[in-house]
Amino acid sequence: MSQKRIITIAGKLGSGKSSTAKLLAAKLGYKHYSTGHFMRSIADARGISLIELNNIAEKDKSIDKELDNFNLKIGKMENIVLDSRLGFYFIPKSFKVFLEINPKIAAERILKDAKTNPERHNEAVTNFDTKEVVTKNITSRLESEKKRYKDLYNIKNHTDHNNFDLVVNTDKKSLNEVVDEIQSKYKEWLDNN
């Protein structure tokens, strides 16, 4: 099977996955999808936070099944940028990108985003009051995800850089610099596959 014209973007919380995926899709003329947005819509429909939904998902496998089906559906398309923690797993023929970030910088970004991003306003009320709370929630969510992904898919560590074609540290790079680096490496990947 040949490589797909799909870029999957994963990364640590606060690394800029959604912003990167949106801008990259726009620059490439691709369509953008986000499992985070999809999961947030599930949480909103249930009237709970993402942290609560993650905790429920540890016992209720139907939530991950819904997300799996979303990823598999996207994997059948072309000219897509998908920000998804498990995109690399469900769409192995995609160009797989991981965004790395220092936890302190991530906490600052998330706190700022929670106050200014309308999609995150419901989270800001209960989950993102201070940097300490943000850091605690990041850790809690990561541990919840690791447990679920190990139980469901036998993925030992979904943040392992070996799962990806490109790893970009976003600590000191602007959004445009991150997107330009991905776009350049993606072009090389397409040319070589």
pLDDT at residue 121, rounded to an integer? 46
In angstroms, the Cα distances linking 141 to 5, 11, 146, 184 are 30, 13, 9, 32
In angstroms, the Cα distances linking 133 to 37, 55, 105, 127, 149 are 22, 17, 14, 7, 24
Average pLDDT over the chain, rounded to whole?
88
pLDDT at residue 34, rounded to an integer? 93
Count each helix (H run) and each strand (E run) in the chain, helices first: 9, 5
How does pLDDT run across 17-31, given as a tens digit for each residue?
999 999 999 999 999
C-alpha gyration radius of the chain: 16
Residues ≥6 apart with Cβ < 8 Å to 80: 5, 6, 7, 25, 30, 31, 32, 33, 74
Residues 154-174: what's their mean pLDDT?
A: 96
Closest by CA position to 50, among listed 110, 108, 100 = 110
pLDDT at residue 24, rounded to an integer? 98
Classify residue 119 by burial, with Cβ atoms within 10 Å: 0-12, 13-18, 19+.
Answer: middle
pLDDT at residue 108, rounded to an integer? 86
- Go through the domains of the chain in sequence order and give each one's CATH number: 6-173 (3.40.50.300)
The verdict on pTM exceeding 0.95 is: no
Main-chain phi, psi angles of 118, to 5 degrees: -55, -30
How does pLDDT run across 56-92, given as a tens digit for each residue?
888 888 888 888 888 899 999 999 999 999 999 999 9
Banded pLDDT at 178 (limits 50, 70, 90): very high
pLDDT at residue 128, rounded to an integer? 55
